[in-house]
Chain A
């Protein structure tokens, strides 16, 4: 399966400022998170893939074509910008119909698609209201709707949860999962929030200061480690002593015992120590990595 997006030695400079420096990566089907702090080069990468700007060197391709050379490929991609980009005096239905036509759909089809997509983002009842009256959450949903109204193969979302309250953020992340799952549209999601990527993405690309820091499947980056975590409900000191007496090397942070490089024998030692000390085990599980660890381990 050819990649949906390809960056090959992609470099973009603005005068003396290097926004992206010799970056190479692929994006496959599904949801991919483009993660990085502000100024990491995420928006620049998106604009290069969308053909809004040209690379200084290297190549960016989308669906196998260079977006600033091939106009036609753009009818198969969608884009949700980070900043507010909706006409305040126009109703959502009219705006979506117009955007569908600008994407190449005939008027009758554009009208149907606009109504369908607004229903799917939960704005069917509000579709005739001017968008200037919408809440931030509703505006974000219209921005997503205009990005998918022409049923693209791939949609690029730039900070889709920006400015949303926790409830609105959950709703937006749920919609993004649905866009990829139920709608079958691949998503590239740019964000500085690791939680957004952990909850929605299948793969992650991490940019830091314009350089590619990590690229892998989210499941792999958050896979189980060989550290075993144990929490007991009572008799902590007796349990710790019993564990030490059996030769287990456990670190105690006051709440959790951590056994690094734990093997099969360590499970037996924990069981025996719990029996001997009379402690009740509340938790026994391998530790999982978090995406935050990527940043901790990344070279500065």
Chain B
């Protein structure tokens, strides 16, 4: 048996004399906490299941295409989507992800009365909202880009001449970044705005999904009825078609479906203006809601 001298440590309360980093640290903490909240980090196992499933869902199409490409080679090339197709394929997963996960960022803090604890610290409501939005935007962006990165990597590596492929398709890089950012912004703002007006996560998610589906169905239905006299601008209420039209505009693709064809007949400024309204109005509602919040 070995023996040693025992030591008594003084555990009395100590004043804090370390650095205080002020508002910048506060903002960063809210941002990081937002990322953790959406991904379920620091919470039980159940909180991680849904974000993991949605991430896997967004990645799966890209992985499947890459596996097919690697196995079938050129024979599958006609079947494999290009950069311009991919965002339209994963659009539904993105909407589901945004509708389900956006409420996680804003609703628990309001429902559990945490906002006064934030706003008595060096943080304004606008700081809080901006950081929560950025946290969600960054995660959505990662989700949007991750599938594209896997697909593009697969396309490059399975081509006969990767360098030639890169030279021929170099313009896809900035297009992927631009459209991805536009889609992530679109998918982030409206669900967050809805989440700002309810304390029930399920209500917010159902509202976003239902509104998205109903508006899409309403626009397509109105446009397929012959001689209905409905102007092509009605297609602009088709939320899903707005991001698709931005994607198709940037990638110079032909839009399909009743709403897509109607938007294609309009001047390019129409879908761009609709995109600005679809993101700008929810953003204004969100900002106004938190600015006027009574604690």
Q: Tell me the A residues contacting B by CB distance below 8 Å.
A: 47, 50-53, 71-72, 74-75, 77-79, 81, 83-91, 94, 98-99, 101-106, 109, 113, 116, 119-120, 130, 146, 150-151, 182-184
**Residues of B with C-beta under 8 A to A109:** 16, 18-19
Q: Do residues B122 and A103 form an inter-chain contact, with CB atoms below 8 A?
A: yes
Partner of A71, one of B44, B116, B122: B122
Q: Do residues A104 and B16 form an inter-chain contact, with CB atoms below 8 A?
A: no
**Residues of A with C-beta under 8 A to B119:** 51-52
**Residues of B with C-beta under 8 A to A72:** 22-23, 122
**Residues of A with C-beta under 8 A to B42:** 90-91, 94
Q: Do residues A79 and B120 form an inter-chain contact, with CB atoms below 8 A?
A: yes
Within the complex, what minimum Cβ distance (angstroms) separates A15 from chain B? Answer: 12
Q: A76 — nearest CB in chain B belongs to which residue?
A: B20
**Residues of B with C-beta under 8 A to A78:** 120
Docked pose: A182 CA to B26 CA in angstroms: 28
Q: Does chain A have a CB within 8 A of B252? A: no
Q: Do residues B30 and A52 form an inter-chain contact, with CB atoms below 8 A?
A: no
Q: B123 — nearest CB in chain A belongs to which residue?
A: A102
Within the complex, what minimum Cβ distance (angstroms) separates A55 from chain B? Answer: 15
Q: Does chain A have a CB within 8 A of B112? A: yes
Among A50, A74, A183, residue most surrounded by chain B Cβ atoms (within 10 Å): A74
Q: Could you list some 14 contacts between A and B, CB below 8 A?
A: A74-B121, A74-B123, A75-B122, A85-B113, A85-B114, A87-B112, A98-B29, A99-B117, A101-B25, A102-B25, A102-B121, A104-B20, A183-B13, A184-B15
**Residues of B with C-beta under 8 A to A151:** 15-16
Partner of A86, one of B11, B33, B112, B121: B112
Within the complex, what minimum Cβ distance (angstroms) separates A250 from chain B? Answer: 51
Q: Does chain A have a CB within 8 A of B51? A: no
Q: Do residues B112 and A85 form an inter-chain contact, with CB atoms below 8 A?
A: yes
Query: Interface code B6-47, partner A: CB below 8 Å = 1, 0 otherwise?
Result: 000001111110111111011011101100000000111001
Q: Assess A71 versus B124: contact at CB under 8 Å? Given A79-B117, A102-B29.
A: yes
Q: Do residues A105 and B13 form an inter-chain contact, with CB atoms below 8 A?
A: no
Q: Do residues B122 and A74 form an inter-chain contact, with CB atoms below 8 A?
A: yes
A-B pairs under 8 A by CB, number: 113
Docked pose: A31 CA to B246 CA in angstroms: 61
Q: Assess A113 versus B43: contact at CB under 8 Å? Given A72-B22, A101-B26, A101-B29.
A: no
4 further A-B contacts with Cβ under 8 Å, apart from A88-B112, A151-B15, are A84-B112, A85-B117, A90-B42, A102-B118
Q: Tell me the B residues contacting A by CB distance below 8 Å.
A: 11-16, 18-23, 25-26, 28-30, 32-33, 42-44, 47, 108, 112-114, 116-124, 294-295
Q: Do residues A105 and B25 form an inter-chain contact, with CB atoms below 8 A?
A: yes
Within the complex, what minimum Cβ distance (angstroms) separates A26 from chain B? Answer: 21
Q: B12 — nearest CB in chain A belongs to which residue?
A: A182
Q: B109 — nearest CB in chain A belongs to which residue?
A: A87
Q: Assess A105 versus B18: contact at CB under 8 Å? Given A86-B112, A90-B43, A183-B13.
A: yes
Docked pose: A146 CA to B117 CA in angstroms: 9
Q: Do residues B108 and A71 form an inter-chain contact, with CB atoms below 8 A?
A: no
Q: A117 — nearest CB in chain B belongs to which residue?
A: B13
Q: A156 — nearest CB in chain B belongs to which residue?
A: B120
Q: Do residues B13 and A116 form an inter-chain contact, with CB atoms below 8 A?
A: yes
Q: Do residues A104 and B26 form an inter-chain contact, with CB atoms below 8 A?
A: yes
Docked pose: A128 CA to B70 CA in angstroms: 47
Docked pose: A109 CA to B23 CA in angstroms: 16
Docked pose: A160 CA to B117 CA in angstroms: 15
**Residues of B with C-beta under 8 A to A91:** 42
Among A53, A79, A184, residue most surrounded by chain B Cβ atoms (within 10 Å): A79
Q: Assess A104 versus B44: contact at CB under 8 Å? Given A79-B116, A109-B16.
A: no
Docked pose: A183 CA to B15 CA in angstroms: 7
**Residues of A with C-beta under 8 A to B113:** 81, 83-85
**Residues of B with C-beta under 8 A to A85:** 112-114, 116-117
Q: Do residues A52 and B33 form an inter-chain contact, with CB atoms below 8 A?
A: no
Closest 7 CB pairs of A and B: A151-B16, A101-B29, A85-B113, A79-B120, A109-B18, A104-B20, A50-B120
Within the complex, what minimum Cβ distance (angstroms) separates B259 from chain A? Answer: 41
Q: Do residues B43 and A89 form an inter-chain contact, with CB atoms below 8 A?
A: yes
Q: A132 — nearest CB in chain B belongs to which residue?
A: B112
Q: A89 — nearest CB in chain B belongs to which residue?
A: B43
Q: B16 — nearest CB in chain A belongs to which residue?
A: A151
Docked pose: A87 CA to B44 CA in angstroms: 13
**Residues of A with C-beta under 8 A to B21:** 104-106
Q: Do residues B14 and A116 form an inter-chain contact, with CB atoms below 8 A?
A: yes
Q: A148 — nearest CB in chain B belongs to which residue?
A: B13
**Residues of B with C-beta under 8 A to A150:** 16, 20
Q: Do residues B18 and A106 form an inter-chain contact, with CB atoms below 8 A?
A: yes
Docked pose: A217 CA to B248 CA in angstroms: 74
Q: A101 — nearest CB in chain B belongs to which residue?
A: B29
Partner of A103, one of B26, B124, B295: B26
Q: B23 — nearest CB in chain A belongs to which residue?
A: A71
**Residues of A with C-beta under 8 A to B118:** 102
